Structure formats: structure tokens, C-alpha cells
Amino acid sequence: MTARNILQIEQSTVRKVTWRLLPFLFICFFISILDRVNISFAALQMNADLGFSNTVFGIGAGIFFFGYFLLEVPGSAMMAKVGARKWICRIMVSWGILAILMAFIEAPWQFYTIRFLLGVAEASFYPCMVHYLSGFYQTKHHARAIAAFMLAIPGANALGSPLSTFLLTIEGLGLSGWQWMFIIEAIPAVILGIICYFYLTDSIDKAHWLEQEEKKWLIETLDIEQKMKQEVKHYTFMEALKDKTVLWLSVGYFFWMMGYYGINMFLPTISKTISATSGISLQNLGWIIGALYFVSMIVMMLVGNHSDKTQERPWHVAGCLAVSALGLMLATYVADTNVWLAFIFLAVALCGAFGAFPPFWAIPPSFITGAAAGGAIALINSIGNLGGFFGPTIVGYLKELTNSFNTAIAFLGVSMFVSAAIIVLSARKKQKELA
């Protein structure tokens, strides 16, 4: 077979894998993020209706990540046994049902309980998806594939912001807008979970949508890559969980997620406070926030493409996080004097936070393979997402303490800087070991 034929097979295979997997996984992840963060828009009505303080809301928004933390690694181990197809199906159906129950909470303890169980239900969903994609893509395409898949994060916020603010205006059958929002946005999770069972394939050899020569090329190519990585060091599932680089990446991701979710969960509330003096309506506020996330989608793809082109990861991550931290701090500094400039700096902060995702998640598969890679990704994600509890909780507490978001946002900016330093130092050290 000539080099030209091999190149043609590679191009056709990558194209088929991309069109078969990424759009569907994008939609699934989109719904996941929407059901996770729509709580921030519910707060615009729910807190007043149920008498929740900023502290109660912060705890409830963040406790999701404790459930996520507890089941993340065990869930990934279970996924390795039963297969991604069945496990993703189970995750989506169970979280969809729980997300619907969010519409019927009345007391703080119910709020905390459902949010915790929602985290338990969704645990291992993200590492399962990343690990699944790594089983169909070469290493050189990882950041780009992850970027396309992870566009669902800013995408869910970009489209979900005006959608959620619109749903808040719906009332009927004795339910308020925030209750209808939870119900309507949760139903797709159950439907997609069932479809997933029939649509996804557990492995390349079962991918009926690939030609035989395409399957052969992809299996052989990924086998060669896996052997090359294992020649440097072969990781078992438990060894991957104890690897120093994996642990440091987990710590760095913790500080990153503390900053990211702190701003993400309170962004509608912060934006409403900033825009109060300019008389922006609730629906227009949704479109403005959506526009911020849309810009971050473009940046996310550009960073992922550039990271793949240069095959550099750590500095791409650190640079994006540093930009995010500066954006947060500058937004706080100008918020009292220039509303629109504050929105621009918030957009910069979001672009930095999202732009760091593709190169970051391309780091673990660069030195760990197979089920061990799934375990490493799960550990990083579980420890990191604990920051999703502390970020909103600390923001809520500091807002109550100081009656302003300024101190809270400054804290989030510092956490982003700490994350950038930890990730670049640990990943660069691992690169030197592998060189």
C-alpha cells in the first residue's frame, strides 16, 4: 500500500469518526452542562421564592461536586467493565430524572440532597467521554477532538443563557418559571441516554460505520502509539492514580475549577448586579451572557488547533488561565464605573478559562494509555471538581460578608494564577522525563 493510499485511509477514517461521534457526544455533553449550570439562572427566581440566601445557594450549587467526587473514580472503573455505551446510558437517564426533581424542592435540605445525588448520578460522565474519544483518535488529534467535544461547555451557556431566561417567564399548572426550566431542560437527558445505548459502539472493531480497511488502519495505528507510550512506562489502573504528575495535575485542576465554577455559578447574579444601573432586561441579560460564552467557543477551538499544531500543551494552559485571572480582576476593578467594559473583561476571563480545556485534557493521554488513562482522567476530574464546591461556596460567603462580589472575584483570580503555575511546572517536568 502506497503512502498516498495510507493518507487517504487516514483522512477518511478521521472524518468518519469525527462526524459519527463528535456531534452526538457534543449534544449529550451540552445537555449535561445545561442541567449542571442552569441552577445559576434558577437563582434569579428560586432564591426569592424559597427564601434561600447567597450562602445557602452557594452550598447547594457546589455540593453537586461532592457527589461527583465520591463516585468519579469508581464510576470510571465500572465503565471499563461494562463499556462506555451502557455506562453513558445509565448516567444520562438517572441524572435526567433527578434534574426533573429539582423543580419540586421546597427546603434547603431538599436542595442539598437533590444536588448531591445529581453529582452522584453524573459522576464519571466526562472522563468516560474523554476516554471513549481517545480510543478512536490518534494522540496528535486529541486536543482538536477534545476542543470540538468540549465546545458544549461554552455552547450550553451561550444558548442556555437566553433559553433559561426565557423559560423563567413561563408559568402554569401551579409551577413557576424556574420549575418549568428544570423540567424542560432535563427531559432531553433521558431521551438521549436511551438513544446512546443503540447509537454508540464499544470498540473500533464493532464500528459498523467504518470500512474494514479503515478499522484495520485505526486499530494498528493506535496499537503502535500505545506500545510506544508503554515502552517509556506501563501504567496499571492503580499506578496511574498514584503518579505524581497526575496528582499535581489534580491539584492544579482543583484551583482552576474553584475559580471557574465560582464565576460560572454566580455570573448571572454578578451580571445582574453590574447591569442594574443600565436598566438591562432579564431577557437581554441572557443574550449578553450568551454572547460572552459564544466568543469563548471560538477561542476554545483556536487554542485547541494551535496546541495540536505546535504539539505544546502546558504553556497553552498556563497562558489561558493567566489571561482569565487578569480578566476577572479587571472586571471587578471597573465594575462600578463602566458596565460594558466590565462585561468585556468578563468575556476575556471566560475565554481564558475555556481556552485552557483542550490542551489540558490532551496531557494525561500523552503519557498514560488504556484503562489507566481513564482512571487518571477520572481522578484529576474528581479532585479538580471539588473546587466546584469550594468556589461557589466561598463566593457566596464573601458576598454575604462584604456585601460585594469584588473580594470574591479577586479570590477567584488568585486561584487561577495558582492553577497556572502548578499545571505548567508539573506537566513540563513530566515532558522532560519522557524526552
Query: What's the CA gap between 362 and 374, in Å, rounded?
Result: 12
For residue 124, the model assigns a pLDDT of 78
Query: What's the CA gap between 78 and 372, in Å, rounded?
Result: 13
Q: What is the mean pLDDT of residues 398-427?
A: 81
Residue 93 confidence class, pLDDT cut points 50, 70, 90:
very high
For residue 236, the model assigns a pLDDT of 53
What are the structural domains of the chain?
11-226 (1.20.1250.20), 235-434 (1.20.1250.20)
pLDDT in tens, 189-198: 999 999 988 8
Residue 279 confidence class, pLDDT cut points 50, 70, 90:
low
For residue 273, the model assigns a pLDDT of 59
pLDDT for 241 beyond 80: no
pLDDT in tens, 176-224: 888 898 899 889 999 999 998 889 887 788 878 888 887 887 887 777 7
| Beta-bridge partner residues of 134 | none
Q: What is the mean pLDDT of residues 353-371?
A: 76
Please tell me the number of Cα atoms within 13 Å of 104 on its side-chain side: 7
For residue 194, the model assigns a pLDDT of 93
Mean of pLDDT over the chain:
78
Residue 97 confidence class, pLDDT cut points 50, 70, 90:
very high
pLDDT for 14 beyond 70: yes
For residue 269, the model assigns a pLDDT of 59
Q: Return the minimum-mean-pLDDT range out of 37-51, 352-366, 371-385.
A: 371-385
For residue 271, the model assigns a pLDDT of 61
pLDDT for 343 beyond 60: yes
Q: Return the minimum-mean-pLDDT range out of 231-240, 305-314, 404-413.
A: 231-240
Contact partners, residue 82, CB within 8 Å, separation at least 6: none
For residue 72, the model assigns a pLDDT of 73
For residue 22, the model assigns a pLDDT of 83
pLDDT for 378 beyond 60: yes
Q: Return the minimum-mean-pLDDT range out of 191-200, 307-316, 334-343, 357-366.
A: 334-343
pTM metric for this prediction: 0.70
For residue 1, the model assigns a pLDDT of 53
